[in-house]
Chain A
Amino acid sequence: MNAAEIREVVLSILGGIAPEVDLARVRPDADLREELDIDSMDVLRFVVGLSERLGVEVPEADYPLIRTLDGCVAYLAAHGAAPRQQAGPAAQGAGA
């Protein structure tokens, strides 16, 4: 997957978590927690979504590396993100 494809999936997962947010306005270098007004539970749902959609399990120790959209896309590209069949409810916002 190239960076643009990864970014699209990441934004789609975030859209399921913060449906009222205008994703086109997310600044790529800003802290996603602040951009999207999300809490630690939302972050966990995001990480679950990444695992389900892109096959990358982000360990807790690496959470600081995915704080921004750019950082997240770079991290996923470096860890072999590949599309998975969309299955679990978490990616749609229902949690694990």
Chain B
Amino acid sequence: MADFLMPSLGADMEAGTLVEWKVAPGQAVKRGDVVAVVDTDKGAIEVEIWEDGVVAEILVPTGTKVPVGTVLARVRGAAQAAAPGAGPPPAVPAPRREVEAPRPAAAAPPAAMGSGQARASPAARAKARELGVDLSSVAGTGPDGAVTLADVEAAAGKAAAAAPTSARAAPVAGAAAPGMRQAIAAAMARSKREIPHYYLALDVDLSRALAWLARENERRPVTERLLPVALLLKAVARAAREVPEMNGFFVDGAFRPAGSVHLGVAISLRLGGLIAPALHDVDRLDLSAVMRGLNDLVARTRRGGLRSSELSDGTLTVTSLGDMGVGEVYGVIYPPQVALVGFGRVQERPWAAGGMLGVRPVVTVTLAADHRVSDGIRGAQFLAVVDRLLQAPEAL
């Protein structure tokens, strides 16, 4: 008999609310099946099981909020019990409970909540909290029946806040769910306290990559078009294979390199807040698959529907603020990872090459890395590999 636990979906999660069981007692499950949906500050997450067996008993009813590590169900027939609460082995460390965030959630009594609650985007969730709307009572009109911000506002009988100069709802400081802000704060404070970051930057000429991309997109149907970010992610993933000190976890005083390259992709939520779910095995995907995976990941991040493995097994995070016009970004490493790669905006800049001065599209690639694991020279080698790979886009 094995226990199926409330998983830790990242270093910043303390508790979750069980909103839906996808299985019933007596039902057979196999590794990778989604067995439950858990509501967290990161939206509704589909939780996978990591062993084969038969569900013997369900211990936590829907609508109950419980701390990370709580036994949710028992599973019979699982020969080797997996590490409690661990995501897909081997990458994920055991649940980390040492986050020094306040723990109101764990101490609170189970929150009453309707069963079968609809998915809701984190923005809708924040608004519902602000307006005192019970999400389970709202009919969702978004993709897959997701509750949208508009649904919440309609339910509250309030018109959208008028934005004086443009249509979009103005993001305001702290607009993200308070729980998410607190979770980000806890993880980032821990990172800055524990990880001796070092920072490097390299300007990379993207003229070859972008020219190749333009030619490629001309012959592709619109649904198969690639964005530059697909090339950047693939280059980072392959560089991580060549310089493994950037890819893995620092746990219990030692570095554990990861066997796979699962890139955490920092995705901003439309009304504030940030989630970095993992795109799996990017080093082995072709560019079309990277693009499809990224599309899917962004859509599910914004409407709810991420999987537990995607939140817990990123091995290296990439952030790109280019669309915002930022030239370079120096990131804060997401523990227990050991590095973060940042891309700024692609800008036309004067560029000297072969004794000639010309204008080229250039991006500044930055690396924040953990000095407990690597030195600047390895970081420099890593960035040089990213550059080299981007000079041969057809081989990515």
Contacts and interface: CB of A to CB of B under 8 A. Distances in A.
Instruction: Say whether A and B bind each other.
Output: yes
Interface of A: 16, 18-27, 30, 34-37, 39-41, 44-45, 47-48, 51, 57-60, 88-90, 92-96
A88 B223 contact: yes
Interface string B210-224: 000010011001111
B168 A21 contact: yes
Given A22-B169, A96-B292, 7 more contacts: A19-B150, A20-B149, A21-B168, A37-B168, A93-B142, A93-B303, A95-B295
A37 B270 contact: yes
B148 interface: yes
A42 B355 CA distance: 40
A70 to B, nearest CB: 14
B323 interface: yes
B123 interface: yes
B167 A92 contact: no
A41 B229 CA distance: 9
Given A20-B150, A37-B270, A58-B222, A26 B167 contact: yes
Interface string B235-274: 0000000000000000000000000000000000011000
A19 B223 CA distance: 21
Most buried by B among A37, A48, A58, A92: A37
A48 B217 CA distance: 13
Contacts of A37: 168, 171, 270
B266 to A, nearest CB: 12
Contacts of A40: 227-229, 323
B227 to A, nearest CB: 6
Nearest to A39: B323
Contact of A48 (B123, B222, B270): B222
Contacts, number: 92
Interface in B182-237: 214, 217-218, 221-225, 227-229
A90 B223 contact: yes
B214 A20 contact: no
B163 interface: yes
Contacts of A44: 225, 227, 295
A22 B160 contact: yes
A5 B271 CA distance: 30
21 contacts: A16-B143, A20-B148, A20-B270, A24-B167, A25-B167, A30-B166, A34-B166, A35-B167, A39-B323, A41-B295, A45-B295, A51-B223, A57-B221, A60-B225, A89-B143, A93-B303, A95-B298, A96-B223, A96-B224, A96-B292, A96-B295
A19 B270 CA distance: 9
B148 A19 contact: yes
Given A25-B166, A51-B222, A41 B298 contact: yes
Interface string B304-346: 0000000000000000000100000000000000000000000
B223 to A, nearest CB: 4
A95 B299 contact: yes
B294 interface: yes
A1 B64 CA distance: 51
B121 interface: yes
Interface string B153-179: 000000010010011110100000000
B296 interface: yes
